[in-house]
Chains A and B, each alone.
Chain A
Amino acid sequence: NAGVTQTPKFQVLKTGQSMTLQCAQDMNHNSMYWYRQDPGMGLRLIYYSASEGTTDKGEVPNGYNVSRLNKREFSLRLESAAPSQTSVYFCASSEGDVGGIYGYTFGSGTRLTVV
C-alpha cells in the first residue's frame, strides 16, 4: 500500500549512542516532516523539508540532524542520545511545495527509549 514507511518500529539506546531513523514515502510528495510525540504535549515539529535538497528547523531541533536523501527519503539522526529524547517519532509527508494544505500522511511511528 502507498504511504509513509518508518524504520525501525522500536529501539532502545544507551545514553550517548547514536542512531538514524529512516523514513520513506512513495506518494511523490514534496514536503516531509519529523515530529516527536510526548504525553500531554501533542506532536512537536523537529525538522522539516519543503522540497528535495532543503531542510529547516522546527520547534524542537536541538540534539537532532536530518538528511533529505532524495525526494522519497528523509532521515533523522540522533548523534548522542539523551534520556530526554525518549519519545515516539513520527515521519509525515504532504503534497505541495510548502506544506500541509491538504494534510499530512503519517508513518506508524518509531518508539525510542534512551536509558
Chain B
Amino acid sequence: AQSVTQPDIHITVSEGASLELRCNYSYGATPYLFWYVQSPGQGLQLLLKYFSGDTLVQGIKGFEAEFKRSQSSFNLRKPSVHWSDAAEYFCAVGARSNDYKLSFGAGTTVTVRA
C-alpha cells in the first residue's frame, strides 16, 4: 500500500529565508506526487504535481519540488518565504494500482516570523 511521511510537524522560518519541507513516500513503482497548501479555515489548494519527466517541478506561489527516486522523496522548496506562506502543507501520493486515489501525509505547519 502507498504511504506518505512528512517528518516535520512544525517548522518556523523567518520572512525572506528559504524553506524546505520534506516528504517521503512508499510505493514500488513511479508514483504521482502532489503538494497542497491549506490556509487556516480553507480548503486545500494544489501547489504542484509530478508525474514523469523533469524531476524538478515548478508550482504556483514560487514553490518548486524535486523528485528523487533513489531517496523516495519529493521535497518542497521556496527560496524566499513571505508572511503569506504561513499555512499547513500536505504531500500526497497516488498510484495506478490504487485507482490513483490520493494518500496524504500528516501535514507540516509553517510559521513565518517577521
Q: Which of the residues A43, A101, A103, A108 comes within 8 Å of B42, measured between beta carbons?
A: A108
Indicate if B63 sits at the interface (CB-CB under 8 A): no
How many residues of A are in contact with the other chain, CB < 8 A? Answer: 27
| Cα-based distance from A104 to B90 in the complex (angstroms) | 13
Q: A99 contacts which of B100, B105, B107 (Cβ < 8 Å)?
A: B100
* B102 located at the interface, meaning its Cβ lies under 8 Å from any Cβ of chain A in the complex: yes
**A104 pairs with B102, CB closer than 8 A:** yes
Whether, in the assembled complex, B101 has its beta carbon less than 8 Å from a beta carbon of chain A, the answer is yes
Asked if B51 and A103 make an inter-chain contact with CB atoms under 8 angstroms apart, the answer reads no
Query: Smallest distance from the beta carbon of B39 to chain A beta carbons, Å?
Result: 11
Query: B-contacting residues of A (Cβ < 8 Å)?
Result: 4, 33, 35, 40-45, 48, 50, 58, 90, 92, 96, 98-109
> Is B106 on the interface with A (CB-CB < 8 A)?
yes
Q: B82-99 vs A: 1/0 string, CB under 8 Å?
A: 000000001000100001
Q: With both chains docked as a complex, state the minimum distance between the C-beta of A105 and any C-beta of chain B, in angstroms.
A: 8
Q: Are B46 and A43 in contact (CB under 8 A)?
A: no
List 19 extra interface pairs beyond A42-B90, A103-B34, A104-B102, CB under 8 A.
A35-B104, A42-B6, A42-B104, A42-B105, A44-B104, A48-B101, A50-B99, A90-B43, A96-B100, A100-B94, A100-B102, A101-B32, A101-B51, A103-B46, A103-B49, A105-B46, A106-B36, A106-B44, A106-B45
Q: Does B11 contact A (CB under 8 A)?
A: no
Residues of B within 8 A of A40 (CB): 9, 106-107
Partner of B107 from the list A42, A90, A106 (CB cut-off 8 Å) is: A42
Closest 8 CB pairs of A and B: A99-B100, A106-B43, A42-B104, A43-B104, A42-B106, A106-B44, A108-B43, A103-B46
B43 close to A100 (CB less than 8 A): no
